[in-house]
Amino acid sequence: MIKKLLAAFTLAVSIGSAFAAVDINNANSDALRGIKGIGPAKAKAILDEREAHGPFKDAAELSKRVKGMGGKTVERLQAEGLTIGPAGAPVAVAGAKPVAGAVVVKK
């Protein structure tokens, strides 16, 4: 019985997380501020940078282009539902530990 409840809870949480995903390249200020850790100032900085230089290709580019968005911050935001890049898949930042479910490509 407990296993069934745990499985149902896990399923509900994962479904809720899927609907909470916010694509940084399409989101408006309100959507960005819905991500825990992004306030009005950071949302504005992201939107200003995106408008000035185009969409973000990956997490590393987001870290470089937006002041105050280091690798660990981007990892945390991805865990909260922020997606980056054309496929919206989490991408590892150079020098940071991979996020659970992230695709790491070694060159």
**Domains, the chain:** 21-107 (1.10.150.280)
How far, in Å, CA of 90 to CA of 20, rounded? 14
Which pLDDT tens digits describe the chain residue by residue (107 residues)?
Answer: 777 755 665 555 555 444 569 999 999 999 999 999 999 999 999 999 999 999 999 999 999 999 999 999 999 999 999 999 765 444 444 445 555 555 555 54
Q: CA 60 to CA 76: how far, in whole Å? A: 14
